[in-house]
Structure 1
Amino acid sequence: MQKSSNVVWQEQKVNRQDRERLNGHGSVVLWFTGLSGSGKSTVAHAVEERLHGYRCRTIVLDGDNVRHGLCGDLGFSIDDRHENIRRIGEMAKLFLDAGVISLTAFISPMCSDRNRVRELIPDGEFLEIYCKCPIEVCEERDVKGLYRRARVGDIKEFTGISSPYEEPEKPELTIDTHELSLEESVEQVINLLHDRGVLREEKVSTAAGS
C-alpha cells in the first residue's frame, strides 16, 4: 500500500498520558482470539460490562460489527483477512492513544497478522487472550449453523474446517472457555489488568462501594 508523501503526522496538544490521568486508569489493547464459537465476544462484552462498573472508558471491536462498516468491503480470502486485521490493529492503536481500553474479538487466525498488530502497539500494551475451546464444543455452541454449512461446502474458507487457525504461541492469557464459567473467565482478564497496572485499586474500590 503506497502512502502519500503529503501526509504528515499531527502532534496532539492533549496526549495519551493526559487522557489516562483524566480517566483514572491506563489504556491497553485486549486482543481476544479463538475459533468461531470459542466465546471471544461473550467474554469481551462481559469484561467490558465489569469495567464499565468500574467507570472505565472502554470499547469492544467485534468481528461481525466491524464487517458491517469499516471492513464491509472485505471478504474472507487470505488477503482480505490480512487487511481486515490490519485495519483493526490501526483502529485499536488510535483507541490506545485516546486512553481507552479496547477489547477486540476477532478469530484473527494467522499468527503473522496478530504479531503485526503487536508490533504496532508499544511493548506490553498488546495483551493477546486466547479463548481456547475444542472445535467439537464450538460446533455444539454454533447457533447460526455456520460449522454445519462449512462442512457441507456451503461456506468456503471457514476457519477450523477449510481454512487454518494458528494457535497463539505465547499469549498473555489463555482461557479454557469450555471448562470455566463466564464469571471465572472474566475474573482472569480482570486479574491480568490488575497485574499489568492498567486498573488502579482506588478506582475499583470506589466504584465497588458506590
Structure 2
Amino acid sequence: MKSIVTFDGDLDQAVAGQSVTITFADEIDCSRGDVIVRSDAPCEVADQFEATLVWMAEQEMLPGRPYILKIGTQTVTATVTEPKYEVNVNTLEHLASKTLGLNAIGVVNISTDRPIPFEAYATNPDLGGFILIDRMSNATVAAGMIHFALRRSQNVHWQALDVDREAHASLKNQKPAVVWFTGLSGSGKSTIANIVEKKLHALGKHTFLLDGDNIRHGLNRDLGFTDADRVENIRRVGEVAKLMTDAGLIVLTAFISPFRSERQMVRDLMAPGEFVEVFVDTSIEVAEERDVKGLYAKARAGQLKNFTGIDLPYEAPEAAEIRIDTTALSPEEAADLIIARLIP
C-alpha cells in the first residue's frame, strides 16, 4: 500500500465504515469486482462451486442454462447443474429432484465462465452470498450461498497449443463461422442447410453440417424433449460447434433451438462476427402442411408431448442476421442469399 487517501487528508489506517481511496506502490490492473487481501491470508479463487440455492422465479430452474451470477460487486456468467438434492423445508429431508421450482431450496454445483474470488458463506457472507439473474429479462431468479470450491476447479487447467485456430483457418483459406438455422419443425431448416453446404463445398470451402435429428442418434441420444433437455441439447451442440470453428471449419447447424437464451449462449462462445443466425421463418400453419414426419398430427392428438409450437413455445429471434421467408423464397434462393452473406 502506498497511501490511504480521504477528502480530509491521508490516513495511516482505515477501518470498516470509512470511505477511502487506496493507492498502490506497484502497477496493478485492479478494477470493480476485484478483492484486496493480505498476502498471508488470501481468499480462494475458483470457477466451480457447491452451493445452496433458493429458487425465486415462477419459471423453474433449467440446468445448463447460462445465468448472470452477481457476487459482491462482480458479475460473471454461470451455469447450474441438475440439483444434487432438494431440501424439504419442513423435515429437512433430502429429496431427489431434476430442477427447482418457485421457493424450492436445493444443493447444486455452479460453474462460472472465469475464476472468481470467494469465501464460504459461513465464513464471509459478503464473499459467499450471491444472486442469479436471468440474462434475457434481468429478473433476479435465485439467491445462493457458496459452500466450497470443487476440487476439479483447481486440478483442470487450460493447455496451450502451438497450432491455434488462426493457423487452422489460414490452412483452409477461409474464415471460420457458425451458421445457426433456427425455426419450427418443418420450416425447412435442414433442407436449406443441406443446399448451403453443397454450394460451399462446390466453392472449395471446408464445412460440416450438424443436424438436430442426426445429433440425437449419437452425442445427444440420452436427451429427451423437456425444457431442461433442450437446453442441454443446445449447450452440447454449441461446444461442438466451437471446437469445429477452432479447427477452421464453417459449421452449419439445423436445430429448432426454441429459446433465445441458449442461442445467445452459443453466440457468446464464438468470436465477434463468427455467429450467423438464420431465422427460417415459417408459420405453424405452413409447417403443419409440410409435416412429412407426421409430428404435428401426433402432437395435436396428444400422442407426442413437449412439441414446439403445440405445447411448448418457440421464441423467435429478435435480430437474426438473416431472415428467410420460405413462403416467398425457394430453398435454392434462400441458400443463395445465405451464401452471399457468408462470401461477399
Matched AA of 2:228 = D
- Tell me the residue number matched to 1:206: none
Matched AA of 1:105 = A
- Tell me the residue number matched to 1:155: 304
Give the Cα separation in 2 of the matches to 1:44 and 1:7: 37
Paired residue for 1:125, among 265, 270, 274?
Answer: 274
Name which structure has the greater RCO, CA cutoff 8 Å, separation 6+. 1
Bigger proportion of residues as helix: 1
Other structure's SS at 2:199 match: helix
- Tell me the residue number matched to 1:180: 329
Give the Cα separation in 2 of the matches to 1:90 and 1:22: 22
Matched AA of 1:153 = G
Give the Cα separation in 2 of the matches to 1:119 and 1:133: 26
Bigger proportion of residues as strand: 2
- Tell me the residue number matched to 1:106: 255
Matched AA of 1:83 = E
Give the Cα separation in 2 of the matches to 1:183 and 1:75: 32
Deviation of the 1:14 alpha carbon: 1.1
Give the Cα separation in 2 of the matches to 1:152 and 1:104: 30
Deviation of the 1:54 alpha carbon: 1.0
Matched AA of 1:54 = L
Q: Superposed, which structure 2 residues align to 1:45-194 within 5 Å?
A: 45-194=194-343
Give the Cα separation in 1 of the matches to 2:208 and 2:158: 24
Paired residue for 2:184, among 29, 32, 35?
Answer: 35
Give the Cα separation in 1 of the matches to 2:192 and 2:161: 33
Q: Superposed, which structure 2 residues align to 1:13-32 within 5 Å?
A: 13-32=162-181
Give the Cα separation in 2 of the matches to 1:72 and 1:85: 13
Other structure's SS at 2:343 match: helix
Deviation of the 1:194 alpha carbon: 2.1
When normalised by structure 1's length, the TM-score is: 0.90
Give the Cα separation in 2 of the matches to 1:98 and 1:12: 12
Deviation of the 1:178 alpha carbon: 2.2
Q: Alignment length, in residue pairs?
A: 195
Other structure's SS at 1:70 match: coil
Other structure's SS at 1:137 match: helix
Give the Cα separation in 2 of the matches to 1:28 and 1:36: 24
Other structure's SS at 1:60 match: strand
Unaligned stretches of 5+ residues in structure 1:
196-210
Give the Cα separation in 2 of the matches to 1:128 and 1:144: 25
Give the Cα separation in 1 of the matches to 2:264 and 2:258: 11
Give the Cα separation in 2 of the matches to 1:8 and 1:42: 41
Deviation of the 1:49 alpha carbon: 0.3
Deviation of the 1:55 alpha carbon: 1.3
Give the Cα separation in 2 of the matches to 1:74 and 1:162: 18
Matched AA of 1:176 = D
Larger Rg, first or second structure (1 or 2):
2
Give the Cα separation in 2 of the matches to 1:183 and 1:76: 31
Paired residue for 1:10, among 159, 171, 174?
Answer: 159
Deviation of the 1:129 alpha carbon: 0.4
Deviations along 1:70-98, whole A, 9 cap, x unmatched? 11111000000010000011111001110
Aligned alpha-carbon RMSD (Å): 1.1
Give the Cα separation in 2 of the matches to 1:159 and 1:173: 22
Matched AA of 1:125 = E
Matched AA of 1:162 = D
Other structure's SS at 1:10 match: coil
Matched AA of 2:307 = F
Give the Cα separation in 2 of the matches to 1:48 and 1:79: 30
Give the Cα separation in 2 of the matches to 1:48 and 1:7: 36
